[in-house]
Structure 1
Amino acid sequence: MGKKVLIVYAHQSSGSFNAAARDAAVEVLTAQGCTVTVSDLYTMKFKATATAEDITGDIRNAEHFRYAEETKLAWEEGKLSGDITEEQLKIIEADLIIFQFPLYWFTVPAIMKGWFDRVFTLGFAYSHDKRYSLGIFKDKKAMLSFTTGSHESMFSANGINGDMNVTLWPLQNGILHYCGFQVLAPQIFWAPSHVPSEACNTMLEAWRTRLQGLLGEKPLTFTPLDCFDQEKGFQLRPEVHEKHAAKEFGLTVGIHLGKPLPPDSQMKPEV
């Protein structure tokens, strides 16, 4: 049975490189027997702001409105707005989610951030007991596919923009892995607006080649939740810390133990 893929797409132009990357994914994955659905956020005019309007019905505490708690109740009672529930149904059905976007200010565009804020509601996408390696979506895969405005050299450990691994950590660990997804290595299209058309074609062909085996790829590695002591504020357990004390690099970009960051830990799976 073919896999189901959701592409969450955020670009304003049908003539953009992002559109070409989206179209390549639809074509190649469909040819493999996948069912591909695209959420074109700009065409949908998806609302980016998380507000009380996302709830149909009464607010429990209008005086001190707390979005996470109120939307959790609304989700439990079937009272979330239709545009949110439609996207949640797409996630439930999906085996893989690809986020296709241009990098804006070192993160996703506002309309895609709004998608995360509104669609990944408390209860549906995460809870206190179900997050990170025990997350709700641990049987699903997700990945980022995006264009940059800067060349690859500028996103290096010595480059002016800093290490791309650091840029990716909040998105891949703080959103995707937090909700339990198996995070596939990102597909990065370096500065397509600043390179010759031949180079753009080469990048697209590399993407098409990768798509052939995408669903079988090994995900990135993150430190499991059981390596942290919940009773001590989710600090790394002493035995885990000791195990890595003599190693050259830290565990991850974020949990680095004061050591050098592990190279490419947010870019490539461990061999």
Structure 2
Amino acid sequence: MSHQLSNNISIHKEMKVLIVLAHAEPKSLTTTLHNITVEELEKLGHEVKPSDLYAMKWKATIDADDFPEFDKKERLDILTESGKAYSQGKLSHDILEEQAKLQWADMVIFQFPMYWFTIPAILKGWFERVYSMEFGCGVG
């Protein structure tokens, strides 16, 4: 089955779509477009998982709490600890959930407004925490 999304893009099979939404206002244009996107993709037979960062109360800062096994008396080296925690499956629960969604998805859509010519801090924090060393970040 083929679905035409625009003049140049078509999806030929049912897909699993992760949509990461980063807007604090549920009545915003961005959130409205997000809701329409979910509705239209589902009408076309695609499976959609949204990650509404504000509704999830997503923690935007990466710190020692992201690595439950880390000895907080030691100096924190984010890259080393994130790689170690990822390889041992010992990242914080919220990070593991988002990584599982990325592994599940055939396609990822990021929906957000532009704040000061860049993405919202909460979304940047999502990238920093979810793309840990060895998962979307690093050599190899």
Q: For the superposition of Structure 1 and Structure 2, which TM-score range results when normalised by the shorter chain?
A: 0.7 to 0.9
Contact 2:64 2:70 in 1 (8 A): no
Look at both structures and tell me which one has the larger radius of gyration over its CA atoms. Answer: 1
Match of 1:42 among 47, 54, 70: 54
Amino acid paired to 1:72: G
Structure-to-structure mapping, 1:138-153, within 5 angstroms: none
Counting helix residues as a fraction of each chain, which structure ranks higher?
1
TM-score (norm 1): 0.46
Partner SS state of residue 111, structure 2: strand
Q: 1:106 to 1:77 in 2, by over 3 A?
A: same
- Structure 2 unaligned spans of 5+: 1-12
Partner SS state of residue 48, structure 2: strand
Distance 1:37 1:67 in 2: 28
Q: 1:25 to 1:77 in 2, by over 3 A?
A: same
Contact 1:59 1:70 in 2 (8 A): no
Q: Which residue of 1 aligns with 2:107?
A: 96
TM-score (norm 2): 0.86
1:124 to 2:135 alignment: yes
Match of 2:124 among 113, 117, 121: 113
Amino acid paired to 1:78: G
Q: CA offsets, 1:240-261, max 9 Å, x none?
A: xxxxxxxxxxxxxxxxxxxxxx
Deviation at 1:58, TM superposition (A): 2.9
Contact 1:49 1:114 in 2 (8 A): yes
Q: Which residue of 1 aligns with 2:31?
A: 19
Partner SS state of residue 73, structure 1: helix
Distance 2:102 2:38 in 1: 17
Q: How many residues are treated as equivalent by the alignment?
A: 128
Amino acid paired to 1:28: E
Deviation at 1:127, TM superposition (A): 2.3
Distance 2:139 2:71 in 1: 23
* Structure with higher RCO (Cα < 8 A, 6+ apart): 2
Deviation at 1:14, TM superposition (A): 1.4
Partner SS state of residue 44, structure 1: coil
Contact 2:18 2:108 in 1 (8 A): yes
